[in-house]
Chains A and B, each alone.
Chain A
Amino acid sequence: MSDGLRIVDLRLDVEATGCDIVDQVSISIAKGRVLALVGESGSGKTTVGLAVLGHTRRGVSINCGKVFCGETEILNLDEGDKRKVRGRLVSYVPQDPSSSLNPALRIGLQLREVLEAHNFGGSDEARKARIKEMMAEVLLPSDDEYLERYPHQLSGGQQQRVGLAMAFACRPSVIVLDEPTTGLDVSTQEHVLKTIRQLTRDHGVAALYITHDLAVIADLADDVAVMYAGRVVEQGEVAEIFKNPAHPYTRHLVAAAPDIAGKKAIIGLAGRAQSPGKRPVGCAFAPRCELAEDACRVEFPAMVSVSVRHDAACIKAKQSSSGVGASTKSESTRKIGEPVIEVSAVSAGYSGNLVVHDVSLTIRKGECLALVGESGSGKTTVSRAIGGLHREWTGSIRLNGREMKTMARQRAVADRLAIQYVFQNPYGSLNPRRTVGDSIVRPLLIDGKSKHDARRSVLEVLDKVSLPSSYTNKYPDQLSGGERQRIAIARALVSEPEVLVCDEVTSALDVLVQAAIVDLLSDLRRQLGLAMLFVTHNLPLVRSIADEVAVMSEGRIVEVGPSESVIGNPQQQYTQSLILATPSIERSMR
């Protein structure tokens, strides 16, 4: 098999400091195969992807290494030759199609200009025919009216298809896809992934697929390279890596990924990868690794062969045992009590347009109800109505039998404090100008607690979310995403609420952190007997956290029931299609 793409010992530096962002990256991909480059945010995967096209972002430069696309070495080309190669020999599909398509140009022109720039097709007629062909390949209409549209007149999925059409336009031999399905709903994602697989196999393209989503990899890729803190720590064939992860980091990744068809318990890991310049000597994962020993901190471990076409950069790679232990927590029987929150016949909207129709839900003491749906399904609107954050709703929401007023401000202090809301984005939910302690203590001061008592409660609650008391004096800027989300949870818990509304609380977090937060929430619910509403679009996660699940679509609840039975044996067609569209490691490995 000839190599389509070969990256040899690539290193990129931050120009100002000379620190490496990415180092010792060597990857090869055969024609017609998809290699997934997986890593957490900040691991350097996008930097590698752009370097394949000889491109770097502002302030970053290529220190050394070679990139071969077929026979052509990219990094040595001058700017003019790089230009000729980009889009022709090697092309790029960006993460966010809505910002990567020029808002002021019609999509037809944006497609045509790639062909023109590389003089592909030879004549205008040939190019026109090629555009139609490409549009058909990505399953979009190719009539003139459609090509006259502007990007904002297309849906997210359609925009990404245009991005794919553009990337495949000149029949490149290498393609870099940078998280092309992030932000798309699962059903749209499924179609886009199908198209990518089809096109790469049909045209013998070597594809580098950058992602953080393990389930997508299992579904799509042939090979995997795992990146951590700027280095590849493990690579090999997909099935081999998932069944037999050799690097402790990969093992943690696999253990932390929720799966819709497989295991239920997910295991997180504390800490975070350090940014360029702050990385430790030796293996960057050593500070978080339970197997680390002194040798790990001396120098970066060399890649060792684990089995055929499976390498890992760990001195303990060949010790097969020592996987991440399965959850030690016993599945204690949960005590489900009386209904705490009763939502009945709630309809809600924005300036007169209803987006939620006649929704009824019950959450009992000690129970977690997952509210699941795609974007625009109305799930967040429902949760905001419960939290007293949405103005326009009708129907009834009762807390312990007491009718709740529309807005939080109109509700009694005790009721406000009894229902606590945790927001999606931990970067936005804490006031950057306040110390963590000041943010957490507010609910208590509203409750009229004395400063002294309040302070003690803050320390207690920090302990509950596993953060040291020294964190009270820190500002949100100084914390990682996971730590911030813990603080946000601490703020919600400090007033000893009965109900916790969690609105997509893990969607901005990396998978290891997500698992840790889910674990924390489950523990807290058990300990404190909280009733929890867990709003999410992430169906696999539901199995790991919720007892009950309600599936929403277009503002209505289409199916409710115990999470095992709804996900294992869905009754409604919508739920079935949603579950089928969700990629799964276990399902793919079967």
Chain B
Amino acid sequence: MNTQPELQKFEKPDGLLRAALRLKRTQAGLGLMILVIGLTIAGPLIAPHTQTEFIDMPNSLNIPGALFGTDYLGQDVWSRFLIGGRSILLLSLSATLLGATAGTFLGLLAAIMKKKTDEVIMRIFDVILSFPQILLALLLVSMFDASPTLTILAVALSTTPRVGRIIRGAALSVVERDFVQAATALGESRIRILFSEVLPNVTGPLLVEVSLRFTYSIATIASLAFLGFAPDPTAANWGTMIQENSVVIVIQPWGAVLPVIAIAVLTIGTGLCSDGLSRVLAGIDRGGKGE
């Protein structure tokens, strides 16, 4: 029998993503996400009406050609629903990526520089973290304007310290490990150590945190729209739709029901994905047979 370790065939150790994808919850989460993302991509193309077009009496159901009736302004609920997800998704994705990039950089910097730099970065994080995420975004957006750029910046700003703290914590334990010391002994530059020794070893926690932050960015951006701070208040937007149509929910529930379902499905999807990732990261299901 061939049991000599030298002769065994080795495979590259399984990556976090691949391992996570073997879990049912990650598969389900990804499925839900793809469903909603597909809807936001295809929706505007198949929408029968434009988002602000008056098609019939406000708040009416059973209108031919309008699957879910009209909203409080007499616009087509189905069309607005099909169109109204794209901006939320784009804004929250951009905000997450921007915040995660900044957070990763600052977190790594804090971990490797230690002392003063670390202290300063962490105190700044503390200040930002003293605001509930929605509050900081609301303050910025209401004081300046709710343009896409500012919305992204506002949400990214509150994402940064949350990602930064996680990355710093993960990086601190990596920095203590001997392979970083070995690189230091070779005289590698700090920047090189940061990006080629430390960063590849914190991608696991980073991936989990990014997927988690994506869930919250969606929530925050949809909530801003719900409070009336969408980039374009007249445009179709799931958050705006829920707010506009909740008043007439008794007569015409679809205007609120459809976006509620869509946002719920999307966030549950991202939530399931991040849970799958974090389970694999925690080693609970690594190498197991799935669930």
The residue among B1, B4, B5, B197 with the most chain A CB atoms within 10 A of its own CB is B5
Q: Is the CB of A411 within 8 A of B179?
A: no
Q: Is the CB of A491 within 8 A of B201?
A: no
Q: Does B144 contact A (CB under 8 A)?
A: no
Q: Does A413 contact B (CB under 8 A)?
A: yes
Q: Does A24 contact B (CB under 8 A)?
A: no
Measured between beta carbons, the chain A residues less than 8 angstroms from B189 are: 409
Q: Is the CB of A416 within 8 A of B185?
A: yes
Q: Does B184 contact A (CB under 8 A)?
A: yes
Q: Does A201 contact B (CB under 8 A)?
A: no
Q: Is the CB of A424 within 8 A of B178?
A: yes
Measured between beta carbons, the chain B residues less than 8 angstroms from A297 are: 1
Task: Name 11 extra pairs, CB < 8 A, besides A408-B185, A409-B189.
Answer: A274-B3, A279-B3, A407-B184, A408-B184, A408-B186, A423-B178, A433-B201, A442-B188, A446-B188, A478-B10, A491-B182
Q: Does A590 contact B (CB under 8 A)?
A: no
A389/B4 contact (C-beta < 8 A), A429-B179, A431-B197 known: no
CA distance A407 to B185 in the complex (A): 8
Q: Is the CB of B182 within 8 A of A421?
A: yes
Interface of chain A residues 481 through 516 with chain B (CB within 8 A): 488, 491
Flag B169-192 by CB within 8 Å of A: 1 or 0 each. 000000001110111111111000
Which 3 residue pairs of A and B lie closest in terms of their CB atoms, listed nearest first? Answer: A429-B178, A433-B200, A423-B178
Measured between beta carbons, the chain A residues less than 8 angstroms from B183 are: 442
Q: Does B6 contact A (CB under 8 A)?
A: yes
Q: Is the CB of B3 within 8 A of A416?
A: no
- State how many angstroms separate the Cβ of B171 from the closest Cβ of chain A: 14
Flag A411-435 by CB within 8 Å of B: 1 or 0 each. 1010011011101110011111110
Q: Does B12 contact A (CB under 8 A)?
A: yes
Q: Does B283 contact A (CB under 8 A)?
A: no
A-B contact pairs, 21 of them (CB 8 A): A16-B289, A278-B3, A388-B184, A388-B185, A389-B185, A409-B187, A420-B185, A421-B182, A423-B182, A428-B179, A429-B178, A429-B182, A432-B201, A434-B200, A442-B183, A442-B186, A446-B187, A446-B188, A475-B12, A478-B10, A488-B182
CA distance A413 to B289 in the complex (A): 49
CA distance A474 to B178 in the complex (A): 19
Q: Look across to chain B and name the residue whose beta carbon is closest to the beta carbon of A432.
A: B201
Measured between beta carbons, the chain B residues less than 8 angstroms from A280 are: 1, 3
Q: Is the CB of B13 within 8 A of A478?
A: yes
The residue among B5, B177, B178, B189 with the most chain A CB atoms within 10 A of its own CB is B178
Q: Is the CB of B185 within 8 A of A272?
A: no
Measured between beta carbons, the chain A residues less than 8 angstroms from B185 are: 387-389, 408, 416, 419-421
Interface of chain A residues 358 through 410 with chain B (CB within 8 A): 387-389, 407-409
Q: Does A142 contact B (CB under 8 A)?
A: no
- State how many angstroms separate the Cβ of B291 from the closest Cβ of chain A: 13
Q: Look across to chain B and name the residue whose beta carbon is closest to the beta carbon of A413.
A: B187
CA distance A388 to B10 in the complex (A): 36
Q: Look across to chain B and name the residue whose beta carbon is closest to the beta carbon of A297.
A: B1
Q: Does A271 contact B (CB under 8 A)?
A: yes
CA distance A492 to B187 in the complex (A): 14
- State how many angstroms separate the Cβ of A157 from the closest Cβ of chain B: 26
- State how many angstroms separate the Cβ of B11 from the closest Cβ of chain A: 8
Measured between beta carbons, the chain A residues less than 8 angstroms from B6 are: 468
> How many residues from A make CB contacts under 8 Å with B?
45
A475/B13 contact (C-beta < 8 A), A274-B3, A278-B3 known: yes
- State how many angstroms separate the Cβ of A56 from the closest Cβ of chain B: 19
Measured between beta carbons, the chain B residues less than 8 angstroms from A420 are: 185
The residue among B4, B12, B186 with the most chain A CB atoms within 10 A of its own CB is B186
Measured between beta carbons, the chain A residues less than 8 angstroms from B12 are: 475
Q: Is the CB of B13 within 8 A of A430?
A: no
Interface of chain B residues 158 through 217 with chain A (CB within 8 A): 177-179, 181-189, 197, 200-201
Measured between beta carbons, the chain B residues less than 8 angstroms from A424 are: 178
CA distance A16 to B289 in the complex (A): 9
Q: Look across to chain B and name the residue whose beta carbon is closest to the beta carbon of A443.
A: B186
Contact check: which of B3, B10, B181, B197 meets A423 at CB < 8 Å?
B181
Q: Look across to chain B and name the residue whose beta carbon is closest to the beta carbon of A483.
A: B5
Measured between beta carbons, the chain A residues less than 8 angstroms from B179 are: 428-431, 439
Flag A468-483 by CB within 8 Å of B: 1 or 0 each. 1000001101101000
Measured between beta carbons, the chain A residues less than 8 angstroms from B187 are: 388, 408-409, 411, 413, 416, 446
A431/B184 contact (C-beta < 8 A), A278-B3, A281-B1, A475-B12 known: no
Measured between beta carbons, the chain B residues less than 8 angstroms from A428 are: 177-179
Q: Does A287 contact B (CB under 8 A)?
A: yes
Measured between beta carbons, the chain B residues less than 8 angstroms from A475 are: 12-13
Q: Is the CB of B178 within 8 A of A425?
A: yes
Measured between beta carbons, the chain B residues less than 8 angstroms from A281 are: 1
CA distance A326 to B134 in the complex (A): 74
Interface of chain A residues 144 through 172 with chain B (CB within 8 A): none
A409/B4 contact (C-beta < 8 A), A430-B179, A431-B201 known: no
- State how many angstroms separate the Cβ of B192 from the closest Cβ of chain A: 10
Measured between beta carbons, the chain A residues less than 8 angstroms from B5 are: 271-272, 274, 480
CA distance A425 to B177 in the complex (A): 9
Q: Look across to chain B and name the residue whose beta carbon is closest to the beta carbon of A272.
A: B5
CA distance A417 to B4 in the complex (A): 36
CA distance A420 to B182 in the complex (A): 9
Q: Is the CB of B181 within 8 A of A389?
A: yes
Measured between beta carbons, the chain B residues less than 8 angstroms from A431 are: 179, 197, 200-201
CA distance A488 to B200 in the complex (A): 20
CA distance A423 to B183 in the complex (A): 12
Flag A569-589 by CB within 8 Å of B: 1 or 0 each. 000000000000000000000
Measured between beta carbons, the chain B residues less than 8 angstroms from A409 are: 184, 187, 189
Measured between beta carbons, the chain B residues less than 8 angstroms from A480 are: 5
Measured between beta carbons, the chain A residues less than 8 angstroms from B201 are: 431-433
Measured between beta carbons, the chain A residues less than 8 angstroms from B4 are: 271, 287
Q: Is the CB of B188 within 8 A of A389?
A: no
Q: Is the CB of A389 within 8 A of B184?
A: yes
Measured between beta carbons, the chain A residues less than 8 angstroms from B289 are: 16
Q: Is the CB of A446 within 8 A of B186?
A: yes
CA distance A387 to B186 in the complex (A): 9
The residue among A16, A279, A408 with the most chain B CB atoms within 10 A of its own CB is A408
- State how many angstroms separate the Cβ of A510 from the closest Cβ of chain B: 14
CA distance A236 to B283 in the complex (A): 41
Measured between beta carbons, the chain B residues less than 8 angstroms from A287 are: 3-4
Flag B104-136 by CB within 8 Å of A: 1 or 0 each. 000000000000000000000000000000000
Measured between beta carbons, the chain A residues less than 8 angstroms from B181 are: 389, 421, 423, 429
Measured between beta carbons, the chain B residues less than 8 angstroms from A433 are: 200-201
- State how many angstroms separate the Cβ of A393 from the closest Cβ of chain B: 15
Q: Look across to chain B and name the residue whose beta carbon is closest to the beta carbon of A431.
A: B179
- State how many angstroms separate the Cβ of B282 from the closest Cβ of chain A: 14
- State how many angstroms separate the Cβ of A90 from the closest Cβ of chain B: 32
CA distance A468 to B4 in the complex (A): 14
CA distance A279 to B3 in the complex (A): 8
CA distance A230 to B181 in the complex (A): 37
Q: Look across to chain A and name the residue whose beta carbon is closest to the beta carbon of B201.
A: A433
- State how many angstroms separate the Cβ of A428 from the closest Cβ of chain B: 4
Q: Look across to chain A and name the residue whose beta carbon is closest to the beta carbon of B287.
A: A16
Measured between beta carbons, the chain B residues less than 8 angstroms from A474 are: 10
- State how many angstroms separate the Cβ of A389 from the closest Cβ of chain B: 6
Measured between beta carbons, the chain B residues less than 8 angstroms from A429 are: 177-179, 181-182
CA distance A408 to B184 in the complex (A): 7
CA distance A407 to B186 in the complex (A): 10
